Amino acid sequence: MPEYDVILAGGHVLDPRNRLDGRMDLAISGGKVERVEPEIDHDLASEVVDVSGKWLMPGMIDTHVHVAGSHSTWDPALGYRMLAAAGTTTAIDFGGTPETLIDGMQRMGSGMNVGGLYVMVPGQTIPRDDPPPAEVRRIVSEAVSRGALGIKMIGGYYPFTPEVTATIIAECNRQRAYIGFHLGTKESGSRLDGLREVPALVGNGRLHVAHVNAYCRGSIKRPVEECEEAIQILTARREHYVSEVHQAVPNGTSGRCDLHGNVEADVARNCLKLRNYPTTADGIRQAIKDGYASVIREKDHAVVYVGGREALAMFDELETDCPLSFPVNLPATAFHLTTAKDRTGEFVVDAIATDGGSHPRNIAIESTMALVKFGALSPLEMATKLSWNPARMFALPSKGHLGVGADADVTVIDPAAGKATMAIVDGKPIMRDGRVLGSGGRLLVTEAGRKVAEASGLPFQVLDLTSSKLYAGYGG
């Protein structure tokens, strides 16, 4: 009787935790890693998959995606399959509710591990934008009991006062609920000034700073100077923050305007100001005509960017309440923040995420492989940023590495093409050569969300966030 379910044979294994960097065979049984050695007898396996010439790293963990929530021009659940096609094995949603997350997994899941944060949108997911402390306490408690890992604030769209923002962070810390923040309050923007505000908001607490590069687009200082200041802020009190960057040039934002034709979202206003467009509906129309702005929509069962007349027609048809994209994320900024290290040699920004999912920018592997080819990152450092650090951020001790007993989640990369060719979860392929094979998936919850996970009918895993990088050693 075969000893192993499958052997991935002859690949170049990259495992920063266990310092593996070389050609090896990897044996899997029961969804777990059994052996990683230079040669394993192939007769001991029920199946042998030849991955010679390929790189094998612990499954990619995308710490910031969008697969839940609601959009006017596409179904966010398309993102489950878009992520799997890009080589992702685990993803954390930063923009929905547990109910929409679970619904999407049931309808269009791709076999990934998925958890999510409860997004705080006044008038939609919470009653108002000035909740008192008692109401914040209830919102956080109910969010995790409904199956969320914690809370997401989106200050670039729905900012709170600094006082309310600080209260939300403190309450999440108190309950050890995860807390992610797209920066900005009613006294700052989704720019460098929003990052400058963070130390006072966090105090002695903990915070996940989302997409650091989004605050370094040259709105206040030169981009390189904004990067340097961002690095200084993050390194001054390293134990208080975890963070990520994304590397796609296009962003995602909202074109919604008020009754007077003024753009509502701070992010969209910033994008228009960068090129001296009026922050109005007419400013957006002109940006579309000039090719600076695109509309995001669903087309042929995928989410794409469209421009020109089609984009203008959609913007007007949807009465400005339309998802937009601007090419404002600077490659030099992403490069600088991705590779920056502190005096101990640790990365300042923990992870490379996509801010993608159902946004068509799931390029973390391709863009990071480009940095490897350029010599800015080593292959092991790539695996650190895409898998090992993310696993620590979200308390996934059996993921992010390929040690014996680890979850058999593996991303296989073709180094010549610079992209993922296979994604494996629990020892089973969920994607091969761009074709998504998986369905459903495993739901990630805290203990408070166990009952919801059981009722969902999905496989699930309970995370102990007190051991996450966010809260490890935190005694507040």
Give per-residue pLDDT as tens, 349-365.
Answer: 999 999 999 999 999 99
What are the structure tokens assigned to 195, written together? Answer: 């990052």
Residues 269 and 405 placed together within one structural domain of the fold: no
Which CATH number does the domain housing residue 137 bear? Answer: 3.20.20.140
Reference 152, options 83, 234, 96, 75; nearest CA is 96
Q: How far apart are CA 265 and CA 279, in angstroms?
A: 10
Exposed / middle / buried, residue 134 (Cβ in 10 Å: 0-12, 13-18, 19+): exposed
In a domain, 458, yes or no: no
Which CATH number does the domain housing residue 25 bear? Answer: 2.30.40.10
Q: How far apart are CA 161 and CA 133, in angstroms?
A: 13
Residues 134 and 208 placed together within one structural domain of the fold: yes
In a domain, 270, yes or no: yes
In a domain, 373, yes or no: yes
Residues 150 and 24 placed together within one structural domain of the fold: no
What pLDDT is recorded for position 1?
67
Reply yes or no on whether the pLDDT at 476 is more than 90: no
Reply yes or no on whether the pLDDT at 276 is more than 80: yes
What pLDDT is recorded for position 301?
82
408 pLDDT band (50/70/90 cuts)? Answer: very high
* Domain span at 355: 59-249+329-393
Residues contacting residue 116 through CB under 8 Å, at least 6 positions apart:
67, 68, 92, 93, 94, 96, 97, 98, 101, 147, 148, 149
In a domain, 389, yes or no: yes
In a domain, 453, yes or no: no
Residues contacting residue 6 through CB under 8 Å, at least 6 positions apart:
27, 28, 45, 46, 47, 48, 49, 427
Residues 149 and 202 placed together within one structural domain of the fold: yes
What pLDDT is recorded for position 70?
77
The pLDDT tens digits for 248-270 are 999 999 999 999 999 999 999 99
Q: How far apart are CA 291 and CA 299, in angstroms?
A: 20
Residues contacting residue 357 through CB under 8 Å, at least 6 positions apart:
62, 65, 66, 67, 76, 79, 80, 82, 83, 91, 93
In a domain, 128, yes or no: yes
Is the distance from CB of 315 to CB of 285 less than 8 angstroms?
A: yes
Pairing assessment for the beta strands 302-306 and 351-352 based on DSSP bridges:
unpaired
The pLDDT tens digits for 27-43 are 999 999 999 999 999 99
Residue 392's identity, in one-letter code, is R
Placement of tokens 């996509």 in the chain: 354
The pLDDT tens digits for 147-163 are 999 999 999 999 999 99
End residue of a domain, out of 293, 323, 353 = 323
Exposed / middle / buried, residue 13 (Cβ in 10 Å: 0-12, 13-18, 19+): buried
Residues 193 and 315 placed together within one structural domain of the fold: no
Residues 239 and 296 placed together within one structural domain of the fold: no
Is the distance from CB of 183 to CB of 156 less than 8 angstroms?
A: yes
The pLDDT tens digits for 409-424 are 999 999 999 999 999 9
Residues 203 and 136 placed together within one structural domain of the fold: yes
* Secondary structure (H, E, C), the chain: CCCEEEEEEEEEEEECCCCEEEEEEEEEECCEEEEEECCCCHHHEEEEEECCCCEEEECEEEEEEECCCCCCCCCCCHHHHHHHHCCEEEEEEEEECHHHHHHHHHHHCEEEEEEEEEECCECCCECCCCCCHHHHHHHHHHHHHCCCCEEEEECCCCCCCHHHHHHHHHHHHHHCCEEEEECCCCCCCCCHHHHHCHHHHHCCCCEEECCHHHHCCCCCCCHHHHHHHHHHHHHHCHHHEEEEECCCCCCCEECCECCCCEECCHHHHHHHHHCCCCCEHHHHHHHHHCCCCEEEEEECCEEEEECHHHHHHHHHHCCCCCEEECCCCCHHHHHHHHHCECCCCCECCCEECCCEECCCCCCHHHHHHHHHHHCCCCHHHHHHHHHHHHHHHCCCCCCCCCCCCCECCEEEEECCCCEEEEEEECCEEEEECCEECCCEEEEEECHHHHHHHHHHCCCEEECCHHHCCCCCCCCC
The number of distinct structural domains making up the chain is: 3
Is the distance from CB of 269 to CB of 156 less than 8 angstroms?
A: no
The pLDDT tens digits for 21-31 are 999 999 999 99
Is the distance from CB of 449 to CB of 145 less than 8 angstroms?
A: yes
Is the distance from CB of 42 to CB of 9 less than 8 angstroms?
A: yes
Residues 133 and 201 placed together within one structural domain of the fold: yes
Residues 110 and 192 placed together within one structural domain of the fold: yes
Q: How far apart are CA 402 and CA 16, in angstroms?
A: 9
Beta partners for residue 110, in sequence order: 440
Residues 165 and 178 placed together within one structural domain of the fold: yes
Q: Which of 10-14, 292-296, 299-303 has the lowest mean pLDDT?
A: 299-303
Placement of tokens 């609601």 in the chain: 70
Q: How far apart are CA 226 and CA 258, in angstroms?
A: 31
Residues 92 and 171 placed together within one structural domain of the fold: yes
Average pLDDT over residues 393-406: 98
Reply yes or no on whether the pLDDT at 67 is more than 90: yes
What pLDDT is recorded for position 2?
81
Q: How far apart are CA 254 and CA 266, in angstroms?
A: 9
Residues 176 and 244 placed together within one structural domain of the fold: yes
